[in-house]
Amino acid sequence: MLIMPEIGILLVSHVREIGDGVLRLLKEVAGDVTIKAAAGTEDNGVGTSFDRINEAVTSFEEPRIWAFYDLGSAKMNLDLVSETTDKNLEIQNVSFVEGAYVAAAMLQANASEDSIHSELKPLKIK
Amino acid sequence: MVDKIKKWLELFAAQLHEQKTYLSELDSAIGDGDHGNNMARGADFLLKSLDQSGDTSAVFKNAAMALLSKVGGASGPLYGSALLALSKKAGETDDRSEWIAAGAEAIAHRGKSEAGDKTMLDVWLPVQKALADGSLTHEKIDAFVAETKSLKAKKGRASYLGDRSVGHIDPGAQSSGYLFHAFLEAGADHA
């Protein structure tokens, strides 16, 4: 039996469809990992919303959340949420699609955290 | 005191509406062209937030949450963080230059920016200084905004343009200019 990973994945994008699309891609390789998207503004315009990200973060049952984002202002909102939430939110500064994909696939395979981080390292963007 | 603060934010919201097209024009030149629309949408919710009762700290906090939730681009978290800092500082002191200093610090922290990067900070920092020595005027605010023209952008989308960002006013600096014009107009610059 598969052990449920204790880390969930949050995808933050400026465009709702990008968030949904990446989520769909990740689900292909990580059916048992909780993956949520907080993408677009509340009226589904282009941008990110503090409220939307905060709600998504709060809704995770996992004790830890790895957040992946597409652009700098998404990171600003994520930083704000991480400063105000009680949840353990870890912002991953890696390429959005590939970084999230690698993490999801490896979480699904119950890979060790160290090995996931070493795979993510070359994908770091800053 | 809280009336002056509400008046300040009301006047700011009105300016954002009036200058919506101009702000987007500035942003089209060096950014993604959404600053006017984003800020105008934020202004609507900012106005609504003023209906809630509370002291000065609460007014700033409600305004911050409105901008955070409704302004999709970078200006949402940047203005939101600044107003949250003002909210906190207003609970400690009436000294306006300390409020603005706290706001500027929050913007720098959130945007990882510093003086001269051609951002809103290039208005907040000199405004803070002028406020501290009692010399802030409308003319000075305009001059601080205009001075961002000669700077090369180091942050945000404008930074991708490199030297081509020179010669344009930074849209965030311009909207911050409106914020501080409203500040003086409302008499919010003194207790």
Say whether A14 is catalytic: yes
Nearest neighbour of A73 by CB, restricted to B69, B70, B73: B73
Q: How many CB atoms lie within 10 A of CB A48?
A: 30
Tens digits of residue pLDDT in A64-88: 999 999 998 899 999 999 998 999 9
**What's the mean pLDDT in B128-140?**
97
**pLDDT > 90 in chain B, percent:** 86
**What's the mean pLDDT in B155-179?**
93
Query: Residue B96: pLDDT above 60?
Result: yes
Mean of the per-residue pLDDT values of chain B: 95
Is A15 in CB contact (< 8 Å) with chain B?
A: no
pLDDT on residue B34: 86
Q: Where are the domains of chain A?
A: 1-9+25-34+42-111
pLDDT on residue A4: 58
Full strand arrangement of the beta sheet holding A64-69: A35-39, A7-13, A64-69, A88-91
Tens digits of residue pLDDT in B141-159: 999 999 999 999 999 889 9
Domains of chain B, first to last: 2-185 (1.25.40.340)
pLDDT on residue A1: 43
Contacts of A49 in chain B (CB under 8 A): 69-70, 72, 76
Q: Given 3.40.50.510, 3.40.50.2300, 3.40.430.10, 3.40.50.300, which CATH number is that of A1-9+25-34+42-111?
A: 3.40.50.510
Beta-carbon contacts of B82 under 8 Å, excluding residues fewer than 6 positions away, are: B64, B103, B104, B106, B107, B124
Query: Residue B73: pLDDT above 70?
Result: yes
Low-confidence ranges of chain A (pLDDT < 50): 1
CB contact under 8 A, A73 and B34: no
